């Protein structure tokens, strides 16, 4: 009896497979299949929308839990409304397509009349069962490929879906901020094409209009050196009992100047940004951030290194004292002429400030990203991100390779390259987004300040419209100061 049942099951499977082969799967969107929904905002306002959910954005679905998107069309949206695409990727992990949230940028986007899109994407932890085998489906660069396929889907069905696919704004935080930066930097780049074809992504462009990046954890292969260069002299690093860790920190730190000089960046005033003036530039950005907050009523303590204009001998400077760093449309400078003695921040002791940042939230270990002891418990999430479908961990930096004596495999090198937006800005095969909104909190220590600064500078040097700040007192977080974000966006799209 058992045998007969097994035969029937097997026969059904085979015939199922045959039918699936005959009918090539197609991407679909049915405008008649929307469902009404509602989101209650914090002030009680009820936002009505039409939801289109579980729209698969590739024809060759490998992981049906993640490879689809949800669309939310607010009342009053038209074909020319902007599209706000929010990825909830965090920690380079998989992210399931969800619903708009009253407390974040998706709720606000709906309220502003934007069409909201929430795509799912595979990630370093997503798996499927193939027979008895567990297969990891989302190691680098799969999350990005899914998100690019989502952009293509929106453009493929642009006429059918409300909103304008030429006004796609991407938004994400942390690893999601990195994904948003990648979507902005890698538009239409042929390096991703063969993978997208294999997946059955729509055969259309995948560039976007604007990229919103909160604390992007990116430029991973240079993040360790940047981290030790910035934090290597802090008390907690100097107090490391582990001599090897201390030594590694110093070795990594020594690599940063060569890297940052190789970027040949320029500050907004046109002068070169180099290893020699880099710390002074970070200081300038932090002073501006604190000054802006102070003007808005924040209490900036001198215990964390700030000096004020009430110190003996201080004279109000003729030009107002505070040098603008990135004078873009969105960066409002304080009304400096009106200030009284005592209201200017005149200096910042960087050593004190960096100790403060590393005291409020303990620093990451050494190295912060590419643990070269990947076999052990010390493997980082990033080691997993660059591992393979068997669930392995992999090193991804030249430094780690020098320590292990094992070269980085060519395919890993290529995945690392494909996951770094820095490689695609200034590449004329990329259509880089024209507009960028980049934020990294002034007390965020998940990656060094130089990571978002280099990203912002490279974009600005490439002629892009960049709105960049290190917002005062912000830890590692995203979707804050939404008035500021949507004032900036509305000027661009409305
Ligand atoms: C995230 C945070 C990290 O510190 C990191 O290394 C990678 C990702 C995150 O919050 O997404």
Please tell me the least confidently modeled range out of 321-335, 344-358, 399-413: 321-335
Q: 316 in ligand 1 pocket by Cβ < 6 Å?
A: no
Q: 90 in ligand 1 pocket by Cβ < 6 Å?
A: yes
Q: What is the pLDDT of residue 315?
A: 63
Rounded average pLDDT over 403-422 = 97
* CA-proximal residue: ligand 1, atom 1 (nearest): 91
Ligand 1 atom nearest to 364, measured from its CA: 4
Q: Which of 218, 381, 445, 452 to mutate to test the pocket of ligand 1 (most atoms within 8 A of CB)?
A: 381
* CA-proximal residue: ligand 1, atom 8 (nearest): 91
Give this complex's ipTM.
Answer: 0.99
Average pLDDT of the chain, as a whole number: 91
Q: Which of 88, 172, 175, 451 to mutate to test the pocket of ligand 1 (most atoms within 8 A of CB)?
A: 175
Q: What is the pLDDT of residue 374?
A: 67
Q: What is the pLDDT of residue 105?
A: 98
Please tell me the least confidently modeled range out of 103-112, 302-311, 440-449: 302-311
Task: Answer whether the bond into residue 141 is a cis peptide, omega within 30°.
Answer: yes
Q: What is the pLDDT of residue 338?
A: 45
pLDDT at 124 over 80: yes
Q: 175 in ligand 1 pocket by Cβ < 6 Å?
A: yes
pLDDT at 2 over 70: no
Q: Model confidence at 410, in pLDDT bands (50, 70, 90)?
A: very high
Q: What is the pLDDT of residue 326?
A: 42
Ligand 1 atom nearest to 446, measured from its CA: 4
Ligand 1 atom nearest to 380, measured from its CA: 6
Q: Which residue has the higher pLDDT, 43 or 343?
A: 43
Rounded average pLDDT over 277-306 = 95
Q: 260 in ligand 1 pocket by Cβ < 6 Å?
A: no
Ligand 1 atom nearest to 447, measured from its CA: 4
Ligand 1 atom nearest to 176, measured from its CA: 11
* CA-proximal residue: ligand 1, atom 7 (nearest): 91
CB-count exposure of residue 338 (10 Å: 0-12, 13-18, 19+): exposed
pLDDT at 335 over 50: no
pLDDT at 440 over 70: yes
Please tell me the least confidently modeled range out of 165-174, 223-232, 315-324: 315-324
Q: Which of 88, 90, 220 to mutate to test the pocket of ligand 1 (most atoms within 8 A of CB)?
A: 90
pLDDT exceeding 70 applies to what percent of the chain?
88
pLDDT at 19 over 80: no
Cβ neighbours of 413 (radius 10 Å): 16
Q: Determine contact, residues 358/240, Cβ cutoff 8 Å.
A: no
pLDDT at 6 over 90: no
* CA-proximal residue: ligand 1, atom 2 (nearest): 91
Rounded average pLDDT over 237-245 = 93
Q: Which of 87, 88, 92, 124 to mutate to test the pocket of ligand 1 (most atoms within 8 A of CB)?
A: 92
* CA-proximal residue: ligand 1, atom 5 (nearest): 91
Q: 217 in ligand 1 pocket by Cβ < 6 Å?
A: yes
82 CA to middle of ligand 1, Å?
A: 29
271 CA to middle of ligand 1, Å?
A: 32
* Number of residues assigned to the chain: 494
pLDDT at 336 over 60: no
Q: 206 in ligand 1 pocket by Cβ < 6 Å?
A: no
Rounded average pLDDT over 391-398 = 96
446 CA to middle of ligand 1, Å?
A: 7
Rounded average pLDDT over 180-193 = 98
Q: What is the pLDDT of residue 341?
A: 63
Rounded average pLDDT over 187-197 = 98
Maximum average pLDDT range among 5-9, 17-21, 361-365: 361-365
481 CA to middle of ligand 1, Å?
A: 21
């Amino acid at each position: 009896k058992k045998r007969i049942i097994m035969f029937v099951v097997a026969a059904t499977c085979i015939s199922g497979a045959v039918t699936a082969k005959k009918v090539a799967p197609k991407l679909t969107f049915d405008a008649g299949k929307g469902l009404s929904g509602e989101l209650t905002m914090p002030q009680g306002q009820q936002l009505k929308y039409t939801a289109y959910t579980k729209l698969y954005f590739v024809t060759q679905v490998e992981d049906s839990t993640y490879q689809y998107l949800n669309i939310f069309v607010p009342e009053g949206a038209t074909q020319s409304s902007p599209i706000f695409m929010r990825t909830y990727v965090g920690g380079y992990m998989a992210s399931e397509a969800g619903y708009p949230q009253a407390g974040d940028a998706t709720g606000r986007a709906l309220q502003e009349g934007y069409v909201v899109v929430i795509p799912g994407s595979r990630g370093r932890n997503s798996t499927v069962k193939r027979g008895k085998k567990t297969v990891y489906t989302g190691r680098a660069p799969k999350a990005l490929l899914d998100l690019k396929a989502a952009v293509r889907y929106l453009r493929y069905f642009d006429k059918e879906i409300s909103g304008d696919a030429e006004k796609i704004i991407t938004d994400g935080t942390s690893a999601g901020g990195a994904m948003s930066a990648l979507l902005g930097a890698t538009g239409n780049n042929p390096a991703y094409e063969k993978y997208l074809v294999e997946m059955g992504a729509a055969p259309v462009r995948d560039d976007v209009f604007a990229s919103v990046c909160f604390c992007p954890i990116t430029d991973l292969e240079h993040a360790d050196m940047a981290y030790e260069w910035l934090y290597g002299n802090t008390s907690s690093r100097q107090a490391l009992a582990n001599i090897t860790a201390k030594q590694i920190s110093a070795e990594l730190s020594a690599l940063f100047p060569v890297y940052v000089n190789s970027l040949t960046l320029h500050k907004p005033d046109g002068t070169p940004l180099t290893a020699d003036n880099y710390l002074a530039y970070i200081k300038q950005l932090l002073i501006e951030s604190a000054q802006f907050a102070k003007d808005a009523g924040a209490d900036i303590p001198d215990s964390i290194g700030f000096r004020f204009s009430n110190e003996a001998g201080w004279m109000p400077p003729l030009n107002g004292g505070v040098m603008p760093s990135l004078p873009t449309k969105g960066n409002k400078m304080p009304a400096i002429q009106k200030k009284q003695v005592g209201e200017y921040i005149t200096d910042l002791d960087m050593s004190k400030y960096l100790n403060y940042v590393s005291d409020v939230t303990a620093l990451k270990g050494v190295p912060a990203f590419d643990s070269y002891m990947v076999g052990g418990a010390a493997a980082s999430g990033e080691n997993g991100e660059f591992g393979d479908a068997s669930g392995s961990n992999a090193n991804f930096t030249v430094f780690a390779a020098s320590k292990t004596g094992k070269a980085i495999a060519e395919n890993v090198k290529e995945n690392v390259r494909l996951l770094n937006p820095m490689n695609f800005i200034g590449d004329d095969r990329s259509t880089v987004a024209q507009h960028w909104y980049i934020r990294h909190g002034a007390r965020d220590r998940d990656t060094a300040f130089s990571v978002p600064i280099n990203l912002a500078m490279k974009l600005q040097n490439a002629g892009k419209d960049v709105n960049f700040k290190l917002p005062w007192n912000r830890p590692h977080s995203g979707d804050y100061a939404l008035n500021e974000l949507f004032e900036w966006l509305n000027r661009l799209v409305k």
